[in-house]
């Protein structure tokens, strides 16, 4: 890892740069595939599934028989773990429900806000070397709580035309209504436009590689909303001598093994801790099954020494990490002062992987600095706030004159007339 000592603030943006490709490198490919899927539907999806996944499929939808087969393949131990995780995720997201907010702003003017579910939800679940069945729980559980009527899941098939059985088990457990064997750009395009096999949805959720991220961003140009521009995973740990070096190293590696473009950073006020963590990383990485992936990610990562907590916090807010672990003697300082982070983990016994799987919080989080202006996925991500109002005769008398004056000032005579006619009718009856 790259060790950096007491960097000046004017160098932070360069030091903290993410190891990602520019959109220009990817956008042309994404646009070409989108146009083809829009024009040719399943034919284009089949073409790119053959190219990228090495399989030609006759039917994209997962059958009930395949789901039953998948359930039988899952060990009872894994089923119990998934069910525990689902229970905690359900509890945390159910607690986010809010009641109708109702206010009489002026006598006779009643306004209220209610939330309604987004009816058609699309979930993208990566497959490949790390099939993220945990992401199914993170997305399908709150979608079901919100009351979404259609929950469509797309995930790439393997060389045998199958989706990982744990993904199918979790999808079935959480109420997904349709499961499609399609991945990558073609899956996002399919959910954007709709094809013969892939339903069109109103909002797309889920992580993916940079091609999927750009595809999701392109989908917004066609009237489809997305959760956020979620790219490669990242983690920043702030730690001092109170932290356990082995724990810190394990947390850094837990994110490094996600992908070669993942980034992990340690910020510390202790040079001794930095050296100890570096040593632990070297020993722990040697036995990881995904060692080659983790090593490449570690090459893009940083060990940063700063003089004090105040400087550390300023640097961290500048970076805006997706995941932020705090292991210090001054935890409250960081908890109270952090503004830009997707999800925060506090103390030596709160590993980031707890949030990835089973504590109950959502692991679909903003990356690439988007924690400065995006929230992670939550129950409201699957809902829309709608406002309502009902005005009585007394109410329109109370605010009517103000409306007329404001409408005239903006040069909108018809707006004024809509009030004037009503006021005239009331006055005529009196």
In CATH terms, the fold of domain 24-105+117-227 is: Rossmann fold (3.40.50)
Q: What is the pTM of this model?
A: 0.94
Task: Write down the architecture of domain 2-18+232-360 according to CATH.
Answer: 3-Layer(aba) Sandwich (3.40)
Mean pLDDT by 10 residues, the chain (430 residues): 94 89 81 98 97 94 97 98 98 97 98 98 88 95 98 96 96 98 97 98 92 94 92 93 98 93 96 98 96 93 97 98 98 98 98 97 94 96 98 98 98 98 93
258 is in an annotated binding site: yes
Alpha carbon dihedral 254, 234, 146, 227, in 10-degree steps, equals -150
CATH of 392-429, one of 3.90.1170.40, 1.20.5.1300, 3.30.70.20, 3.30.365.10: 1.20.5.1300
Q: Where are the domains of the chain?
A: 2-18+232-360, 24-105+117-227, 392-429
75 is in an annotated binding site: no
Distance (Å) of CA 28 to CA 186, 276, 311: 14, 45, 41
221 is in an annotated binding site: no
Residue environment code for 307-345, b if the CB has 16+ CB neighbours within 10 A, otherwise e = eebeebbebbbebbbbbbbbbbebeebbeeebebbbbbb
Note the pLDDT of residue 20: 67
Note the pLDDT of residue 1: 80
Residues annotated as catalytic are 322-323
> Are 2-18+232-360 and 24-105+117-227 in the same CATH fold?
yes
Note the pLDDT of residue 256: 95
415 is in an annotated binding site: yes
Spatial distance between the Cα atoms of 26 and 55, rounded to a whole number of angstroms: 23
Tell me whether residue 136 is exposed, middle or buried, using C-beta atoms within 10 angstroms of its C-beta: 0 to 12, 13 to 18, 19 or more: buried
């Amino acid at each position: 890892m790259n060790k950096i000592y007491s960097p000046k603030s004017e160098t932070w943006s360069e030091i903290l740069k993410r190891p990602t490709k520019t959109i220009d490198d990817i956008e042309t490919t994404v646009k070409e595939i989108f146009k083809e899927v829009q024009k040719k539907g399943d034919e284009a999806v089949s073409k790119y599934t053959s190219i990228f996944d090495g399989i030609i499929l006759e039917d994209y939808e997962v059958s009930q028989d395949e789901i039953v087969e998948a359930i039988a393949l899952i060990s009872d131990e894994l089923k119990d773990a998934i069910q525990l995780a689902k229970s905690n995720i359900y509890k945390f997201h159910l607690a986010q429900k809010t009641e109708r907010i109702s206010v009489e702003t002026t006598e006779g003017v009643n306004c209220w806000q209610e939330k309604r579910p987004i009816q058609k939800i699309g979930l993208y679940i990566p497959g490949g070397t790390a099939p993220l069945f945990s992401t199914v729980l993170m997305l399908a559980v709150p979608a079901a709580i919100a009351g979404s009527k259609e929950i469509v899941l797309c995930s790439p098939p393997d060389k045998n035309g199958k989706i990982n059985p744990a993904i199918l088990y979790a999808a079935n457990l959480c109420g997904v209504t349709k499961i499609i064997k399609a991945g990558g750009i073609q899956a996002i395009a399919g959910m954007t436009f709709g094809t013969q096999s892939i339903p069109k949805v109103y909002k797309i959720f889920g992580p993916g590689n940079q091609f999927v991220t750009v595809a999701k961003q392109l989908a917004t140009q066609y009237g489809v909303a997305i959760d956020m521009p979620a790219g490669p995973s990242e983690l920043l740990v702030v730690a001092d001598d109170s932290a356990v070096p082995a724990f810190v190293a394990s947390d850094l590696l837990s994110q490094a093994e996600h992908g070669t473009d993942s980034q992990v950073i340690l910020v510390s006020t202790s040079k001794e801790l930095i050296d100890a963590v570096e040593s632990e990383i070297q020993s722990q990485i040697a036995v990881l099954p995904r060692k080659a992936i983790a090593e490449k990610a570690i090459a893009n990562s940083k060990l940063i020494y700063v003089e004090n907590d105040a400087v550390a916090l300023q640097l961290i807010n500048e970076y805006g990490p997706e995941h932020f672990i705090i292991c210090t003697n001054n935890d409250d300082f960081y908890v109270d002062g952090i503004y830009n982070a997707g999800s925060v983990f506090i103390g030596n016994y709160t590993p980031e992987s707890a949030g990835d799987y089973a504590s109950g919080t959502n692991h679909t989080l903003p990356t690439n600095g988007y924690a400065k202006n995006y929230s992670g996925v939550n129950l409201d991500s699957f809902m829309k706030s709608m406002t309502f109002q009902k005005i009585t005769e007394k109410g329109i008398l109370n605010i009517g004159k103000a409306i007329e004056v404001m409408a005239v000032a903006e040069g909108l005579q018809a707006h004024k007339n809509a009030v004037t006619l009503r006021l005239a009718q009331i006055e005529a009856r009196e």
